[in-house]
Structure 1
Amino acid sequence: MQACLTDSRDRGIGRYADNLVAEMVRQRQDDEILLALDGADPSRLRQARSRLRHQYVRAATTVMHYPTNAFVDHDALRMQSAARLRGRFFESLGVDALLHTSHFETRGSYTTAIDWAADPRPGTAVIAYDVIPLLYPDRYLEPDPFLAEWYPRKCESFSKFDCFLSISQATRVDLIEQLGISPEKIHVINAGLDPDMLAIAQADLPVDETILARRGIDAPFVLMVGNGDWRKNTMGAVEAFARLPRSLQKKYLLVLTQVGTDVKEALAGAFSQIAPRVRVLGRVDDVELATLYRACRVFYFPSFYEGFGLPVLEAMAFGAPVLSANTGSLPEVVHDPRCLFDPHDIDAAASLLEAALEDVAFREVLVSGVKAHAWKYDWTSCAETALTAMRTLAGEAKAAQPQFGKVDEFDRLRVTQDDIDAWSELLIAAPDAGGSLEGSLTAAAARGRRRILVDVSEVVRLDARSGIQRVVRNYCAGLHALAEDAQVEVQPICWTEHGILYASDYASSHLGMPIDTVNAGMRVAVKPNDLLLMLDSSWWSPERFDALHAQVAAAGGEVVWMVYDLIPLLVPHTCDPGMPPAFRRWLEHAAATADGFVCISEATRQDLERFLDEQPAHPVARPWTRAMHLGSDLESGQVVGQASETIASLLEGLGARPLVLAIGTVEPRKDYATILAAFEKVWARGGDVALAIVGKHGWNVEELVLQLKSHPQLGTRLFWLQGVSDTDLHHLMDRVDVLVQASIAEGFGLPVVEAGSRGKPLLLSDLDVFKEIAGEEASYFPVGDAEALAAEIERGVADGWKVPANIRTLTWRESSRGLMEKLLY
């Protein structure tokens, strides 16, 4: 995945590799794919991981380490030694085939170890973008002595690959003619539209005039997208526009993106007469670019040579009339040969441009079927062709180890004498790099599975038995139980006044986890590629974990926070006054330090995304977010003991009277006041239905509590049950006619799942999270509307309740498996 870490990562090559590999993973069928990332620069590693997460690329990753990411033009010893380490790393993986996403990288970070002379076996493949410097040596090689020596040497090693994934037929021809590569080794996979750009194109939105106005585009325009590279021939666009009739120059603008000094000098000198009609925008983002494609009168692309020609494809995807040079791969991409021109013939090109601007019939030719043509270029077919080539390359050979389908992270390589020799050579070549070398050696020597460090600080400190702490205990034990299958190591940790320590002793004695306690009470020592899961409720003083987070980031690991809800921010009046400001500080801190978040519902995830939209830009990359659902202790069909005397007596006394159950702490957020008010209306109108409230006495409900305790229906039609065991709750669930939840806000809604999975009717406030869980299988009423709730109760008693059939409770093991998946992918 080197193309996604070098300085190419934000350019065409990096985005191409991102999209191709992501689709290969999705199309892999029984293939096992391992993504190799570079750990030399933790910041870039985190960015690359973030992109994979945001694309939902479900593949195992491995991290390679070597001692330097600096490129030294003439330091052959350092380049060769780093390359040996990289080669040994790939050999250690035991794969059947190896694909390189980029081979020609230089003069930038993350390029040293790419400069290698020999590939390790197994069979090796490479993406072939172009060999343009060989076609125009006078422009790219001869002016630069270093490149004149470096590029032919790279071509020599490039030609030794076993398989070439060419992005166009034109590149295929160049590989054959310029490098003498056998045609049977070359597979043309083409390219696809970026999924985000395609989605914008297919949305068929109106032109955003504010973007055009902000960029000074106040008239119909000719668009050319490029950069300062000579071969893009931006001057060709300037020259063609300058040869249009004066009337058309006054009617239209020429809009350019990035330009070179030749264009700047020309507009200030020889072409100054058209300068007022030219807009040089510089770099544009995808949203701006989409607007330009959609709004342009003509897209004009006079490039001297392209390996593929993505701007032409993108412009067509937005329905733009396209004129393109007839060079390189561009004739393969356009939908109609009548739009092609010779970029060296300025007069003919200008005439074609004039026709595209003013000739109605010719414009119809340019736009007819252009969108459908462009939209056919998707990554699915590219990935299928690439996978077929890679399977052929792999052949029947099977690597003995490792079995990737059972492995989620390989981030170490075995240290041999060859490796030590290579590090020694690097140390001699760069004696000032001792710290970097030591860190790399540590990373290589520390063999083993990826670790998931799980924060259980508050559970250890308080050992409470409710709410989030029950979730923390279940997930900690659940992840540990799944560790062997996932090929990871799960280590509980906790913050103490003496530092952040391993909590294996607590996990063993209190959670029943069969865990090695040899490190109990020792300070946590971060290892490369660790994943730190902030599972517990660390809302107070989150900065106490800052040092640990920094160590994990520096070691190329990830920090993931669990988010249960955003209630203190969304409905602060339902919380203790001190909670909302403390919670905001915590979430702001988490947003600035996290690689990702896991939320307990999609509704909570969307709340979090809206919060992240309001935060300052993350220093590395915007955190990814995932949603999942909690497990349950109240499994349907579970064999339970006898009900307590209190519950047995209550149920016996009810007889055939309908029973409505409400579950949850009696606190403002649960809005029991609305439930009680609704039942008082039902009772006043002669309804004979019972209400049982199961939940402890919470905060700031003294008036309601007094009302409950003194209610005339208490003990006959109204029951408030505190300290109910799971066994008694089972018996109540078996007897209940309907569950009512009137919450003002929730992060999930476990009672809804537990009751619904038993086929118990559901009467719920109309929260998004309840609708996420129950969908059309529940009845809803507006939050806080006692009359609407009373009407629903009376309707259900009279006509029968809507009975859910498709709500299912997750066991904690199933939910833990979902959490493990979210953490690793």
Structure 2
Amino acid sequence: MKIVLDLQGAQSNSRHRGIGRYTVSMARAFAEEAAKTHELWLALNGRHDCSALDLIEDFSDLIPRNRVLINELPANIAGCLEANRERMLVAEVARASFFDQIDADCIWHSSMFEGWGDDSSASLGSGTDDYRHAATLYDLIPLIHPGRYLHDSKYKHWYYRRLGLLKRCGLLLAISESSRREAIDFLGIPPDRVAVVSAAVSGAFAPTFADETVWARWHQQYGITRGYVLYVGGYDVHKNVDGLLTAYADLPPSLRERHPLVLAGRCDEQVKRFLVNQAGRLRLKHSGVIFTEEIDDAELALLYSNCEVFVTPSLHEGFGLPVLEAMSCGAAVVGSNTASLPEVIGCEDALFDPRSPSSMAHKLQQVLTDADMRKQLREHAVKQVAQFSWAGCAQKALAAIEQHVERSPKKLVRTLRPRLIYVSPLPPARSGIADYSARLLRDLASHYDIEVVADQPEVLDPWVQANFPFHSVDWLRKFSDLEARVLYHMGNSPVHAFMFELMRQTPGVVMLHDFFMGGVRNWMDSFPSARRNWTVPHSKDGFRQILFEHHGYGALLHDMRQGRRSTIDTYPVNLDVLDRALGILAHSHHAIDLARWHWGEQIAGKFKVVPFPKALSRRDRREARRLLAVGPDEFVVCSFGLLAPTKLNHRLLEAWFKSSLVNDSRCHLIFVGENDGGEYGKNIVATIEKASSSKRIRITGFVDEDRYMDYVAAADIAVQLRTASRGETSAAIFDALAQGVPLIANAHGSIDELPDDALFKLDDEFSEEDLAAALDTLRGDDSLRQRFVTRSSEWLQRHHHPVVAVERYRDAIEQFSGHGVKALNEHALAVLQRNADSPKQGERMRRMGYDWMARNRPRPDKPRLFVDVTATSSSKLHTGIERVVRGVLTQLLSANGLSWRIEPVRLVDGKFVQALPYTQHLLELSPIAGEGSEVHPHAGDVFLGLDWVADVLPANTALLDAWRACGVKMLFVVYDLLPVRMPHHFPDFISPMHASWLQCIGHYADALVGISKAVIEDLRDWYDDHPPERRTPLELGYFYPGNDPAATRPTLGLPKEASRLLRRLTDTPSFLMIGTVEPRKGHAFVLDAFERFWASGGLANLVIVGRHGWMSDALGERLRARAASDARLIWIEQASDEYLEQLYGVARALIAASEGEGFGLPLVEAARRGLPVIARDIPVFREVSDGLAYYFDGHDADSLVDILGVVLTSEKFAQAREPSSSLSWKATTSRLCELISHGRHEQWLAPWVPMRERG
């Protein structure tokens, strides 16, 4: 194995500090151990030539000169000077190139944090080989305590840039278990990528007793006397020397007299003045606090060996080398109980709380006044230091490197790190996604060279600032790198508004945080400043326009009837995002289920689930509770997030009141988040205020991230409830699980995907009693709470650690970007655009290419049900066919849960176009832009010829051929065959036109559906005599039209004479005829019968309702003449639905005398109103009235006269009952949809089979 030791840490300014000494000692010991079996090389910084020569010489016995590599770098690259920035960046590239050229299994960097104040640099390679880089980890003190160390913006930027490199390393070698935990907890490094190698001290540190000469010199030089208390170390804030002074001042004066405090080592003059002034304020004598100059190791060993006690008050250490040095010299050591110091000291009795001067003073007084304790600590020191040796450290380091290399990728060809354009809101944007994105970037950088794009003036996250170039939206608009990956983080808030336009220009992979996008799109429509990013930039009603494009007329109806809030909650309005995306990432299968429900398998198939990235977090629970004033014996139940009806906060309150916790004064319920601003929030507050335990229930209001995490750490139980999920993943749930807080949640949406044994999971539809029982159970069972914590921690670590998550991210991004169909299409379009002669032509070619590609790929959403309304859309008639078209279409457009999107169309100039104006008028919708564009079918779509367009359809066979070739299923509704069965009752051109239409639909249809069984049987017979040109059987079925006028926009209005006429009709028995006055309707026959009836003395009115139709001039004149002379005949040529309803109400019976009909709607309408029916005896009338009518012979007027007499004289003339053919339009439409969907429905009859196919 080839291992390269980068010893820059022993060349930079660090060479005179602990890092430099550690680097040389560890490298020397490692070389002695590893050189036995491995090939070792040195990498040195050529800028530091003197130190380079020294190191070459020091290691010459272990590493020959020809294995020493010198990295040449430019001068003046220190990060502390802004003027050096350009050269600093060049140096980083040069250093990366230097490592790229080294073919090694492992490159071990002695320190990543070099170059702030000298000509040192830090880099990894440029390729995808971060795994072969290892680095020594000392501590992360500035990251953990940024307020103390990162107040200088330049240093903060420099430090976070180095953190980015450290995080990318494949292996970290920590100098203590404490440092290892810091890497895991604060950098999110997987535990198997951090090994503890420890530290040791040189042989110079051994017990060395001072003789009288030394004591005399010390007294003269420093003022040191016997019995001194010793501190050795730095004077940074975290070293807590000022805290030591405060604690020392708390000692009894007599004790201080005998034991002066010696602060050894180099101290900056400014810091020294501060400490001297503090000592003065504490009334410490000048002779009682002694500063030494910088001293060598021999002098230091003497000081360690002869002190009364050595103290280390540090608040935070990566290791604490002076402690080990002191113990190696036999000193009695006491120190802080924080970070690494307990593991180095190894004696609990020697520890104190460094944040408490009284604790520190107590421990010092104890050890200074107890000789036996000092003896025990010195004896302990001898045993403890035996555990630390450089040889042991080297062996640990070598074992860690060998294991890491063994599990690293084998024979992996190093390639360039892919470029990733990362589009997302980032801090300070007030968005959970912004915070999420900033954290994700840290880990994703291990796989990509990342540049970030956001629609905001600045990014304030220090890690992002330091490690990733930041670009504007305009920059991405001009972006043209075909090889780069693009990742969008999409959510349902205004900070994502800019992305919709960008995705049209530069498609990429989408991380879908919220499935529903209606909120942001409605916001965009409400604010003109956002219009520049609107998908339909010039629309005055952009939300309704995009709502229609995505969801059709049903969504517009919902918006009109239920309001915008309900619409936003009901419709995702995200199809363009999902369709344009190269691929879609989500954190739960619930989002995929929503995609499948709303859009179908085509869109659902574009999704991949990636884990929600979350590392375990163990925020100090005791400190959090102290900050929140929560007592150690108090039991805290928290619910996190904005209060809202969907969060079921009210149900948690009710369960709390039903639980035993409500009566326990130690139990508290805290809603951590902002209250709802409406009635819901007011009701929550009112409920709390009325409760007897109101003082133990509170709503915090908005809290910042730091305070939020304090509440998470302080909680004993978290309760997160949900209903009406919109596909989002709860970050609060992961925060609680990561912190080790037992969780109660209901199995709703993505929560149901959590493992059952990781939380107390309630049913989705739980009761308050269930929740109360869960609270009581967890409150009383510590072991159950711990089991949930243990299992959830294991699950998070295995499946959701950020490193695991970003690997899944990377795999999905690479698959979508390089191998997905959408990516290949985008590449082809870019190549097409490049071949253009001009940018304008290129853009035009790209648009054309995109349109034709769209026609050749599967539809992204549900199949369409195209409903032909060609004739009805241009007609003002309200009779049979038009009534059916309006009735069925209205129900189709209003229905929920259909497997198609409904698209009314009309035939115009040889193509089908959207019937937009007509449909808007039908549904009484406010207009949206456009007259309706051409529709393009896809395989799986359905065409329903609901209208009768016999005049134009046969002339458009090329269009029908094209639609059938696309895979469209074609069905046509047949209303009747009257024009071909009774041509004498129609104008001459009607019969051949109808025959041509029947032949046309018989050729192209997959199925024909009649409005009665009689129509279909008649059609079957006609096709036997006039077979259409086809090879396959033709499916035949039937359905009955609806008969509830209220569902088809009934016409309103009564004529002036209506009241008088209705009273007259009530006074005298009246018979009603409904239908257009034309020869086949039988009006002449009925008038003949009534004239005979009247002549015989019969008393009754005949009321005819219907317009004057074709081929009936003579009949019209006869009716008008008779009506003018005889008040018993009333002909109403124009009657609204309202008027007709009242006429039904005063009639004695309905007369249906037509010689032929497709259905016979008036019979059903009359029966539904309980009105008796007198009907000509024809098959369709017997079918639709279930044989319940009184039937007369249509060839003999006397037969009708006889029935009239019976009706008027018989008391047994029963009212009609409602027949089975009486259906609402909703039921009718549902039946028709069932027919279209199910080939074995009972109303499918035997198919018509072509003659040559019959056996």
How high is the TM-score relative to the length of structure 1?
A: 0.46
Q: What TM-score results when the alignment is normalised by the length of structure 2?
A: 0.31
Higher RCO (Cα < 8 Å, 6 or more apart): 1
Bigger Rg over Cα: 2
